[in-house]
Structure 1
Amino acid sequence: MLKCIGMAGNRSGKSSNAKGLWRFALIIATVGISCFSVTCAAEQNRVGIAVCSTTQVADFVRQVVGDRWEVQSVLTPGSDPHTYQITPADVQLVKNATLCFENGLHLEGADWMKNLAADAGKKLVTCTDRIQPIMIEEEGQAVPVRDPHAWFDPANARIYVLNILDAVVAADPDHEREYKARTELYLGQLRNLNAWIIKQVNALPRERRVLVTSHDAFNYFCKAYGFESAAPEGWSTGAEVGAGVTPASRAKAIESIRKFGVKSIFVETSVNPEVIKQMASEAGVQVGGSLYSDSMGPPGSAGETYLGMMRENVLTIIQALE
């Protein structure tokens, strides 16, 4: 009897376990189907593909279009737009685009995004249209050139976003109200970012507001927030960073570092750090950290969005210079 009861108990236990496993499998399957359905619905509601040259431009586009568009960036986090070489995959990516977006002002070296879009017969939106550029002098240039790093002033970021909005609404007028609502929300976040930066910078004594970086990328930031920029003239990027710097311009930068009593100078996440480290050693100052410049950070990092990138840069700068 006991044996029979034991056997019956085992069968009951197995049956109960089997039912539990079946229910669990059913729940997982249901959740999977639901997620698949949501994903499919989102994809079906998409009206186009936006292909962007840089990570910053791609982030601005995402803020405007949300899930309505698939947004792709040619450059990955950490890439340098000045020296980037296009690939066959980039050609195919642009061929599939509904709209293409670039920074402009020749940030994309040799205008590679313009060339990709033109070859594919795609409309190209230049996000820096209507921005008043800062003019900078470069070694070997007879006349000043336009500084392309305009996004470092949130007031200019606003213009990027409005240019994107105009292009997206023209391409998809049926969702104009949605795009405008998203844009207004993001413009509010840009205003909050600007107010926060001003508050942080005001806590730093004016005589310490001197910024020396791997290349001359922070002029708009410096102008907006009262910093002196002391990056060497002729600074280039990529594997040959510093190759365009003459001994005279390098000496001038080091002289500025000493003149202003700079505590720290900065490398950039998308630029080779070796020359700036050598200059720090020569000038007797420390490297204050890495700044996001021509590229945002990878997913999960503090700099994965424009807002996050700007906040992280400001915190790094203030901490190193205070």
Structure 2
Amino acid sequence: MRFGTAWRAAWVLAALLAAFPIAAQGVKPDTAPLSARSADFVWMEGEVREGPVLVVVSLDAQRAYVYRGAARIAVSNVSTGRPGFETPQGVYTVLEKRREHYSNLYDDAPMPFMQRLTWGGLALHAGALPGRPASHGCIRLPYAFAEKLFGVTSRDTTIVIARAADDPASTASTPISSVSASDAASLPYTWTPDAAHGGPLAIVYSTHDREVVVLRGASEIGRATVDLVGESRPGRHVFWLLSGARTEASVVVPGRPALRWLEISLEPEGGDREIRLADASGAGTIRVNEAFARVVYDILEPGTVLLITDAPLQSMGNAITPSVLSAERTR
């Protein structure tokens, strides 16, 4: 296959990027751009060989982004569910992996490098990419990309599926504050850490429901009511907890150091950036029960995912209702 000068330059740049870990601050790893051809992807793992893996699928951009540690190591075009079979948003974990799999719903259609996200039929797998949403709900990947992704993920790898923000929004330095013990009764919470037996940690906060859910693997271990004063940022925002701590104190848990969060762009040409959690809410001030904030803080670990969404929790997919995961296995 012959490539033009622009294509050769793009792939030379991709090769150079692969030689270096990508920094968390002001990253724009898409400078090795994908073309309009649906089968394109860029893999930039380079020296970044260790750390938790996160896969983020942007429905609006029809892109998948792969992270390891603080680095975005890959980006690929995808094809998600077509109208009537829309891919559900949510925070998922890989439940099962099969290099060779065939659909038992759609005429034994091949699903190479299948990674199951729900027992009800949602999965990542290699498939045709026509340049638009075209599947029955699964996330189709370029064959070579699906093979590479299969090699770096494991059971319990976190997969986030989300839309981008409805409108561009800049962050404002407004505080997230915990609620004193005297106010605890007004903001109830539940905490059942024994409901899970290992797996990655994910937190989903719905500004629509004013409720936060904590997931360990595919199991809910905590839920709390949140008091939101003012307006929140529109759309969906994904944050990835980095290692280390910031120099300032936490505004969520008094007396503890602030943590380092990477805000992941859901836009095709967006850049990831490190952000203070206090900036994540936009114009709103978030108040959470102090006791709940402390128990969550104590289990946070690098690789924890935080999804802030303006969608109601019940529309965010099976990850928010773990009992659905025990439904009859399909596909």
Q: What's the TM-score once normalised by structure 2's chain length?
A: 0.26
Which of the pair has more CA radius of gyration?
1
More helix by share: 1
More strand by share: 2
Greater relative contact order (Cα < 8 A, sep 6+): 2
